[in-house]
Structure 1
Amino acid sequence: MHRPPSAEAEIAAELAEVTPALVPRYAAGLPGARAAVLTRLWRALAYEPLAWVTGRDAAGDGLVLRLGDGRRLDGPRADPYATAAYVTSVRLDGTVYDDPVRLLTDLAVPHGEAFTSELGHGVASLALARADRESHPEEWPEHDWEWEQRVVDGHPFHPNCRSRPGFSVAEQLAYGPEHRPLVPLARVAVRADRCLVTGRWPDELRDGDRLLVPVHPWQAEHVLKQPYGDWVDAHPLMSLRTLAVPGGPHVKTALSARLTSSVRDISPYSVGISDTLSRFAEDLADRLDGLVCFTRTLGAVAAGSAELAAVLREPPGRYAGRGERVVPVAALPYTGLPASGAWLAAFARLALTAGLRLLDMGVALEAHGQNLLVVLDADGSPVRLVYRDLADIRVSPARLARHGVPVPELAGRIVTDEVTALRRKLFGSLVAGALAGTAGSAPALRAALAAALPDLPVTGDLAALREEALPTKALTLMRLSPGVAGDRWTVLPNPLRADVF
């Protein structure tokens, strides 16, 4: 494998031209960014089913990986639920590596070249994000979208946590939510008879017999390359491609760039089912005694391809009452609230009660820290949940029918009665994702679950959560498996068992 050009050096050179004042802070942040990405990569090496890792052995306070080519990789004992950067170096056959890019380059794993390049961009972009970090005042933000922009480090467990390949430094500063810009949304005119539309498409985005499809400016310039008009300046949210229009909806745009695991387009399939799912979610909310609110899809359009499509959703802030705030779960560590074990247990109890109740009913949420939000009262106590973006949930017709819930007219990947698929979807996103990312370590997650689970109704799903290994997406395996469609999975030690760490 040829060594990729240094993304760190490329971004430093661009930054010197665009915003030279950030260069010293960027350079100072590179070691910490390398450690943050190396920690995430070590988690993958320790727990994912990678064919070239043939053995894993505990060695005192460390972990030894035996590789298929006979080499040995040594590092610390891996906490699969840790979010702090605790892996500062590992040793490959005695050689010390503190740089995940250099490590993966010298590992020379199958299909690793593209992933190695992405890691390099991820390290550099993470250092850039931290260099441009805003100092936060004691008071909480005035607007809900400001919480989203405080999530500087991105995905808590993905090695590509802040990867921005295909984005120049100027584009990262102009479009990345961590840089707090206003993004000028564009709109492309398409004949209405060439579009798939569900829900109600607003008059503001119509022009006679044409629909005006909101488009991210990066997509307009790099992918569509066709005439477009300006629409409105909006605030980018955590997902980068979704933006909050001031006084209006959240707009999910197509963005054909690979960020963490996938290319961010919007499939005609998801547009076609969006209105049905939105109406179905309203019925679910009525059955949940106020535990969960679902943001409604106002309208969705696909203009002939996944590269030109958009979804308009309600802003989650509308589900906050007087004195309440809505905070994405990924932003909870920035509030200081999870530092309290009692608070974390209360949040786990709320989230698991809602998630397991829905799962038993027949709906498995993709309840990771981006899709799941929590409503906090004036004292900061969690009172209910808000869920957005229904495109990746799973629906079980058999379970719905068992509970007397009308089965929506759905087909395709979203529909399954397979128990493993349903539990993977919820447990992998909520427990191994949202709750683990909020807790920040195996001991903290274990304590929160131990406090919350005794209060939950006993179901087969709860028994599986108590007793079985915890499923999670094998994020690195997915990036090293070109041509393999769909999610790949692994399991993590059950956080309720103290003897496995």
Structure 2
Amino acid sequence: MHLPPSPAEDAVAAELAGVRPSLGPSYAAALGGARAAVLTRLWRALAYEPLPWITGREPGPHGLTLRLAGGSRLAGPPPDPYATEAYVSELLLDGRPYRQAARLVRALGVPHGEEFAAELDASTASLALSRAGGPPAGEDVAARTTWEWEQRIVDGHPYHPNCRSRPGFSVAEQLAYAPEHRPVVGLGLVAVRAEECLVTGDWPAALREAGRILVPVHPWQAAHVLKHERVRSGFAAHPLMALRTLAPADGGAHVKTALSARLTSSVRDISVYSIETAAAVSAFAQGLSERLDGRLHITRTLGATTAHSPDLAAVLREPPEVYADASAGERVLPVAALAGFAPARSAAWRAEFARLALSVCLRVLELGVALEAHGQNLLVVLSATGAPLRLVYRDLADIRISPARLVRHGLPVPPLSGRLITDDVTVLRRKLFGSLLTGALGATAGSAGAFADAFAEVASLPHSADREALLTGSLPTKALTLMRLSPGVPGDQWAQLPNPLTGG
């Protein structure tokens, strides 16, 4: 059935006709798949998140029916909490079919639904644009660099309905800055007097000038946020899957820039706290990695600076490929890119990778650190034949550190305070389990059945309280849709997904 375009879909088509008309037919062809992809992600949220206006869930032989406050009923296919391929083409609200997520949310009439519906509409249109401009299907990628692998991740977050929501970005800006469109981005530089900056780590001489710190800035930030600043030309760089983090075209440290726009769920600025703690956290992490027999490398934060503003800051980070032996044919892939890596489609490969990831990350948690090991932060070093050898972790800005666990294992407690520090077992486990298990490993598996096979590897790992928690309870995941529909509630909110080892 032909569906009329939504307002955002229409708007993107109109802009595209002006800036890249050659993509118009591909964009139109991609809309159907993008609608199903976003609707599938929304159905996962409706099936599992503790949304207050869902009063009951009735599984049946042919699907799931939700009872809604007010008496309505919403029906759909059996939900797969770990599916990454679109399998939902329509949902029935009191018997009426809905094939576009935004129109369904508007029909539900839930609090804050209008704002969320607009984001879903934009996410669908941007996802179609991303698919239209993405690399050709089947293109040989065997010898690609790490940043080129990152640019092949077209669909964004594997489970968030706002997987491609980029409010504030025009079509021209998405084409110019988004990694899936494979642009080269010209970063700018803002000169700030050194006494007005906070600098941690080793800020390079190449980014200093006559008593000033040269802060790399993203061109979107320069145009929309730093309008009063004098931004000079900087250097060319390739955007990575995080969009605001880039690999300089001439090599060297990756640059994480402030981007005061809401991408997916979060505004991507850089807090002053992150800059203050960057050097200490990086030094601590290097010491921790030495306890892991070479199975985990943590990229070093080389330098960080802020003009005491989250809108004007930057972090220089060691590129992950320094931990691969190129002469031996090794390469590094972010876990989010494994869907495009042919060996990862085999059950044996997924089991081997799951064993590596689970054993390393659970050991790190036991020692006292919960990594946010989702598919963007966690990378895997592959052998020349494609076997998973060891892990690389990047971006330490949102880990959690337990002083009590560190002390128990004779490890030094870093001189830190604030949100990174907690001994709360629930917080620590949610941080790791919700990113690694119900994020990275689930998305790599791509379905509940494949995830169950890979997750079974946890039973063979050494005994620990954290392993036992995985074997006996449901699995936490961020309630991403609930969070978008609860703008007045700070912090993360959580849902529980079925544990394939317990059935609950």
TM-score (norm 1): 0.97
3-state SS of 2:159 partner: coil
- The aligned counterpart of 1:227 is 230
Per-residue displacement from partner, 1:40-67 (whole Å, max 9, x unpaired)? 0000011111111111110212101111
**In structure 2, distance between residues paired with 1:15 and 1:5:** 15
**In structure 1, distance between residues paired with 2:119 and 2:213:** 36
- The aligned counterpart of 1:142 is 144
Q: 1:317 and 2:317 equivalent? A: no
Give me the identity figure in percent. Answer: 64
Q: Is the 8 A contact 1:186 1:229 kept in 2?
A: yes
Determine which of 271, 276, 287 is the counterpart of 1:272.
276
Shift of 1:415: 0.4
RMSD value, Cα: 1.1
**In structure 1, distance between residues paired with 2:141 and 2:492:** 40
Matched residue type, 2:289: A
Q: 1:132 and 2:133 equivalent? A: yes
Q: Is the 8 A contact 1:141 1:147 kept in 2?
A: no
Q: Is the 8 A contact 1:25 1:131 kept in 2?
A: yes
| Structure 1 gap ranges (5+) | none
3-state SS of 1:224 partner: coil
Judging changes above 3 Å, is the alpha-carbon distance between structure 1 residues 331 and 407 closer, same or farther for their aligned structure 2 residues? same
- The aligned counterpart of 1:295 is 299
- The aligned counterpart of 1:394 is 400
3-state SS of 1:390 partner: coil
- Residue pairs, 1:373-412, within 5 angstroms: 373-412=379-418
Per-residue displacement from partner, 1:136-172 (whole Å, max 9, x unpaired)? 5334243210000000011100001111211111000
**In structure 2, distance between residues paired with 1:250 and 1:31:** 36
Per-residue displacement from partner, 1:82-138 (whole Å, max 9, x unpaired)? 101001100001100011011011111101222111111110011011111212533
- Residue pairs, 1:47-196, within 5 angstroms: 47-135=48-136, 136-196=138-198
Matched residue type, 1:229: R
- Residue pairs, 1:444-483, within 5 angstroms: 444-450=450-456, 452-483=457-488
Farther off after superposition, 163-172 or 137-146: 137-146
Judging changes above 3 Å, is the alpha-carbon distance between structure 1 residues 11 and 372 closer, same or farther for their aligned structure 2 residues? same
- The aligned counterpart of 1:39 is 40
Shift of 1:470: 0.1
Per-residue displacement from partner, 1:422-476 (whole Å, max 9, x unpaired)? 00000000000000000001110101121x2233110010010011000010001
**In structure 1, distance between residues paired with 2:377 and 2:148:** 16
Per-residue displacement from partner, 1:307-332 (whole Å, max 9, x unpaired)? 11100000000000131000000000
Determine which of 233, 240, 243 is the counterpart of 2:243.
240
**In structure 2, distance between residues paired with 1:454 and 1:124:** 42
Per-residue displacement from partner, 1:21-49 (whole Å, max 9, x unpaired)? 11111111101100000000000011111
- The aligned counterpart of 1:209 is 211
Shift of 1:495: 2.2
Q: Is the 8 A contact 1:26 1:127 kept in 2?
A: yes
Q: Is the 8 A contact 2:459 2:471 kept in 1?
A: no
**In structure 1, distance between residues paired with 2:488 and 2:307:** 26
Shift of 1:5: 6.8
**In structure 1, distance between residues paired with 2:287 and 2:397:** 17
**In structure 2, distance between residues paired with 1:337 and 1:44:** 30
- The aligned counterpart of 1:345 is 351
Shift of 1:207: 1.2
Q: 1:418 and 2:419 equivalent? A: no
**In structure 1, distance between residues paired with 2:481 and 2:239:** 26
3-state SS of 2:30 partner: helix
Matched residue type, 2:110: V
**In structure 2, distance between residues paired with 1:185 and 1:286:** 35
**In structure 1, distance between residues paired with 2:6 and 2:125:** 12
Q: Is the 8 A contact 2:38 2:161 kept in 1?
A: yes
Matched residue type, 2:210: G
Determine which of 430, 435, 438 is the counterpart of 1:432.
438
Matched residue type, 2:427: A
Q: Is the 8 A contact 1:213 1:309 kept in 2?
A: yes
Shift of 1:293: 0.1
3-state SS of 1:151 partner: coil
Determine which of 489, 492, 495 is the counterpart of 1:484.
489
| Structure 2 gap ranges (5+) | none
3-state SS of 1:119 partner: helix
**In structure 2, distance between residues paired with 1:223 and 1:139:** 37
TM-score (norm 2): 0.97
Q: 1:284 and 2:288 equivalent? A: yes
